[in-house]
A and B are shown apart, each in its own frame.
Chain A
């Protein structure tokens, strides 16, 4: 199974400042067709998870452009260019390249 490791696990950020979350997989997430199914999810307090990014860098509809994803192979990053109050919550990376799908431990973003 692909083990997903996120860092940091806690991320205090000042409003308007950038934030970055790292996600590392124990094995390459590129499949035999050259596709990499790495997603980023946001879970606000008391809500279901919501996908922000799919296939490493594709933003979902309605996701602000301050969110961006990058990476390849085993190393991936989610960046928020300027953190806003509504960004508070837990962020998970999730690999969908092979079953079982696996998740990172989650990174809790809070406002300083």
Chain B
């Protein structure tokens, strides 16, 4: 079974940066995409960003466009999210999500908490 392990979260002041990482050593890199999805406390799920393994094509939610940068390392089967100019409203549990089929949210990490507060 594919296990996703996230790291890099924590408490950060507004305006500062943070970098999230997600590793999946048991995963087979394919043509599909990987994503970051977040969930505010007691709230629903929000897609943040996605990237295709092979082409590197990316997409971002309007709420993070221009501030967050998604990247991947195919050899390490790892996904990253560089979060800049953080705001209080970015506070959430961030999940990495790997597709095993197109358009599918097959594998989810355990979630990593990001808290933006002064």
Contacts and interface: CB of A to CB of B under 8 A. Distances in A.
Contacts of B99: 96
B46 interface: yes
B59 A51 contact: no
Nearest to B93: A48
Say which size band chain A's interface belongs to: 20 to 34
Task: Determine chain B's interface SS by DSSP, over half rule.
Answer: loop
A41 interface: yes
A100 B109 contact: no
Contacts of A39: 103-105
Contacts of B27: none
B110 interface: yes
Contact of B46 (A41, A50, A103): A103
Contact of B102 (A35, A49, A94, A102): A35
B101 interface: yes
24 contacts: A35-B102, A37-B102, A37-B104, A39-B104, A39-B105, A41-B105, A48-B108, A49-B45, A49-B95, A50-B108, A51-B108, A54-B101, A54-B104, A55-B103, A92-B44, A94-B45, A94-B105, A99-B47, A99-B50, A100-B47, A100-B59, A101-B103, A101-B105, A103-B45
Interface of A: 35, 37, 39, 41, 48-51, 54-55, 60, 92, 94-97, 99-106
